[in-house]
Amino acid sequence: SGFQGIDWRNGYAIFELDAAHIQRLVDAGWAVQTDPIRQSALEQWRSMARAAKLPDDSGSIPGFSCYRTVDQTSADMQTLAEAFPDLAEIRDLGPTWQKQQGNPAGDTIKALVIANRASPHPQAPFVLMAAQHARELSTAEIAARFAEYLLQNQAADADLRWLLDHREIHIIPQQNPDGRRQVENMATFWRKNQNTTACTTGALPGIDLNRNSAFFWGNPGSSNEPCSEIYRGPVPSSEPETQAIQNYLETVFERQRPATDMTALAPDDAQGLFISIHSFSELVLLPWEGLVGGNENNAPNHEALTILGRKFGFFTDYAVARWQLLPPAGGTTVDYAYGEFGVAAYTFEVGTSFQQPCDSFESTVWPANLQALIYAARAARRPYQTPSGPEIVQLNVSFDGQTIDISGQAVDHQFFRGPVSEPPAEDPVAEIVEVVVSLGVPPYLAEQTHTLAIAKPAVQVDFSGRWDPETLSAANDLLFAVAVDAEGAVGVPTATDLGNAVFSDGFELDLIPSTN
């Protein structure tokens, strides 16, 4: 009761408790102390006048100028779709519980789909979902800002532009808008949806949407008590919000493993990635979230999932685990996405508070998670393979119309796990032996490539070389590069503009040089 999250850096769990519950813990031998910073923030939030809490015309949640309301989020995503009609569209996924009941205050769950519709290339899917739990304020903002960042910066950033050609990114900023409106209107710690038939006599109505999915429904970490914060609902997928997401994932992902076989591996070359953003505890969590026990109950693709998770850990400084840091949670969307489709699936528990202060959100939470999400998009084509390979962290080119001079830096050590001993014991760090470059498309699609050998292989290398491509055309406005290590692992692609290029057909492009 009252569990909020953990602080693994300092070794304690965080609860909101009354005096009776505190005494029960003390009597049981636990050390309990008040966190003065969290307590002060909680009292400040609760001391606001009711009028100050109610939504106003600012479009922000009162007391948190950095977090948009449900209405403002929806309006801003619509504005993006209208501003970039060839790159973005809004899709309606289905009604919330309140809307399904005919309540005009109910909402439609929406996704913003970002991809270059004119691209002739395969576009691997990446689904990002946020705000499943209403009180976790920063999550929807991260999703909305990620959409804005991709679209508003792609024209000037080759590493974003190629993603829109080769990925289909589905962003669901508000999966539980009915619940979020309760938070906007003073229900500070509302977690569940707004199904008012559950817990009709208590203070915690609704159903926990992250315990309601069909996979591992009813397992430990969920409750059959309607007034529990982790009430799983009367049957699997009972809630329209859950049905909307599960039905939508059916249209986005291919089935790449048999869902009825808990031991069946997804193939190494499976594509697709799903991330559900929650808060808080600074964690990256893996399937199976709904199983108890230790490594014997890890998912079939656990090691590959963990390697990608540790890449995310590098960017966020979050601990990466399945079972060592949090108890199980039966019926999560992440288990459904991996179990049904075989896609790499993760929960991000971002930040250090449900009501993350805006200053730390802006300085730490948002920039760290942005980098992790960009890497996720880059890895979505082969999430079980490319994270084992090196990254190009710097790529420079100069081009005189015929010869391309190439230089940069590659690394093969960008992993972080935190205080976790789950397998694999070792990260796939190996010496980098070559860099492969191509024009117009990544090397795996290119008809012509060029290899830059590394004279002194190491886990961090500078590279340089020259390339005289056999053919050039106006379609070759980007130079792609991937690094390869001694184990044969090929990392995610990086791209840069060729600059003010003059091609053999006489066509000139005034491109924007960039270093990525």
Q: Phi then psi for 412, rounded to 5 degrees? A: -135, 40
> Residues, the chain, total?
516
Provide the pLDDT for residue 63: 85
Provide the pLDDT for residue 38: 81
Provide the pLDDT for residue 516: 37
d(CA 294, CA 118): 47
If we measure between CA atoms, which residue out of 314, 308, 305 comes closest to residue 368? 314
Provide the pLDDT for residue 503: 37
CA dihedral 316, 321, 322, 323 (to 10 degrees): -130
The DSSP symbol for 170 reads E
Domains of the chain in sequence order: 62-125+132-379 (3.40.630.10), 389-510 (2.60.40.10)
Amino acid at the residue 73: T
Provide the pLDDT for residue 512: 32
d(CA 378, CA 124): 10
- For 281-301, give the DSSP string: SSEEE-S-TT--SSGGG--TT
Provide the pLDDT for residue 57: 72
Q: Phi then psi for 452, rounded to 5 degrees? A: -105, 110
Three-state DSSP state, 180: helix
Q: Tell me which H or E stretch contains 320.
A: strand 319-321
If we measure between CA atoms, which residue out of 188, 186, 187, 179 comes closest to residue 53? 186
The answer to whether the beta carbons of residues 503 and 471 sit under 8 Å apart is no
The CA-CA-CA angle for residues 70, 214, 287, to 5°, reads 85
In tens digits, what is the pLDDT along the chain, a chain of 516 residues?
A: 588 888 889 888 998 888 888 999 899 999 999 988 888 877 777 776 445 555 567 899 988 999 999 999 999 999 999 999 999 999 999 999 999 999 999 999 999 999 999 999 999 999 999 999 999 999 999 999 999 999 999 999 999 999 999 999 999 999 999 999 999 987 778 999 999 999 998 888 999 999 999 999 999 999 999 999 999 999 999 999 999 999 999 999 999 999 999 999 999 999 999 999 999 999 999 999 999 989 999 999 999 999 999 999 999 999 999 999 999 999 999 999 999 999 999 999 999 999 999 999 999 999 999 999 999 999 999 999 999 999 999 999 999 888 999 999 999 999 999 999 999 999 999 999 999 999 999 999 999 999 999 999 999 999 999 999 987 776 678 999 999 999 999 999 999 998 644 333 333 333 333 333
Say if residue 78 is exposed, middle or buried (CB neighbours under 10 Å; 0-12, 13-18, 19+): middle
The answer to whether the beta carbons of residues 299 and 285 sit under 8 Å apart is no
The answer to whether the beta carbons of residues 73 and 172 sit under 8 Å apart is no
